[in-house]
Structure 1
C-alpha cells in the first residue's frame, strides 16, 4: 500500500511540473490513462489516484466521455514562475531589484569564506565566457553569480524565491533583439565591485552597485 501511495505522489509531482512549465496549458487535455500508465510505468489505479488528487486540488478536471483537462489557475494557486512569465518585464525587473537589494544586505552580513570563494570562481567563469565571445556561457555564469549572492544571504526563503526568478531572467536574456557578449562586458567591473563590497561588508556600496547592475538588466 505504501508503495502505491509513493508512486501516485511521483505521478502527481511530475504532472504538476509539466503543468507549471506549460507542457499542458489551461483548457488542454492531458494524455489518456493508457498513455500515462506507459509514460510513468505504473498501473491504472495509481494514475487514477493521482488524477483524483489533482482534481480535488482544482488543478485538473475530469469530464466523463471527454477526458481530463487542465483547469484555469486560481490566482492564489498559480505557480510563481508561471505568474512571472505573464508579467511585463518592467514589473519583473522592479520586483527583482527589491529582492536583490535585500539579498545583498543579508549577504554582506552573513557571507562566509566559501561564499566569497564561489563568487570569485564565478567571476572568472563570467570573464572567460566574455573573452571567448560565448553569449550563452555569459548568461549562465551571470545567473549563477547572482544565485551565489542569494545563497550567501543564508536566508533559504530568499534564495528559493530568487531561484524562481532566474528562469524568467534567462528568458529575458534570450529575447534580446541583438544579444552580444559586450552587454555582459559592460557590467563586469560592477560585478567585481559587488563581490568586493560583500567581502568587505560594505552594505551601502553593495546596494549601490547591485542597483547599477540592474539598471542595465545584467
Structure 2
C-alpha cells in the first residue's frame, strides 16, 4: 500500500469511527504530517482524493473540513440531484406504495398529531400565498407519513429525496388539499388500501404530461 493510500484509509477510518464528524476541521498539515508520518505531498494527494469522494471539503483560508461520513451516501446524493423529475417521482411512487400502507397500520397518536400539524400549516400557507412555507409544510406532511411507517430504511430513503421533491413542488401551490386531507383520514382509520390509492394519485398529479 502506498503512503497516499495508507493516509486515505486512516482518515476514512477516523471519520467512520466518529473521531472526526461532519463539521469538524481537520488538524493542520503540519500536525497531520507529524502524527501520520508522511510528507506534505502525500497528505495533499490523499486530501484531494477524499475531497473528490465527498468526505472532505477545503475552505480556502480556513482549512479542511469533514462534510460526510459515507462515500456511498454521497454518491447516491449526487445521483439523485442529477436525476430527472420523472425518475424521482417514479421512485417516490414505489416508496409510497411501501410506506403508506405501513403508516396506516403502525401510526400512533403522535404520528397523527404530526400529520395534522403539517397539513394545517400547508393549508394556511396556501391561503396566505406563501410558496416557501407551503412547500416546507407539504414536505413535512409526506415525511411524517414515512415516519409513521416506523421503518428506518424507508424513512432514510424518503429523506434522501427531499431536495428533488422540493423541485417538483414549484407549481403546486394550493393543489391537492382534498386529496391530502383524505390521505390523512385514511391513515387515521387504518385504511391501507384507500390510503395507498390516494398517495399514488397525489404522485400521479405531480408527474409531467407525456408528450406524443
Task: Give the TM-score normalised by structure 1.
Answer: 0.66
Q: Offset at 1:46?
A: 5.7
Q: Offset at 1:86?
A: 1.7
Per-residue CA shift, 1:108-158, capped at 9, x if unaligned? Answer: 111000000111111110010011011111111000000000000000110
Distance 1:8 1:54, change over 3 A: farther
- 1:207 and 2:196 matched: yes
Equivalent runs, 1:57-206 vs 2, <5 Å = 59=53, 79-174=75-170, 179=171, 183-206=172-195
**Partner-residue secondary structure (3-state), 1:209:** helix
Cα distance in 2 for residues equivalent to 1:137 and 1:59: 34
Distance 1:56 1:203, change over 3 A: same
Q: 1:42 corresponds to which residue?
A: 27
Query: Is the Cα–Cα contact under 8 Å of residues 8 and 46 in structure 1 kept in the other structure?
Result: no
Cα distance in 1 for residues equivalent to 2:146 and 2:73: 25
Q: Offset at 1:58?
A: 7.7
Instruction: Tell me the number of residue pairs that the alignment of Structure 1 and Structure 2 aligns.
Output: 168
Task: Give the TM-score normalised by structure 2.
Answer: 0.68
Could you list the runs of 5+ residues in structure 1 that have no partner in the other structure? 16-39, 61-74
Could you list the runs of 5+ residues in structure 2 that have no partner in the other structure? 1-13, 37-42, 55-70, 208-212
Alignment RMSD: 3.2
Per-residue CA shift, 1:15-36, capped at 9, x if unaligned? Answer: 9xxxxxxxxxxxxxxxxxxxxx
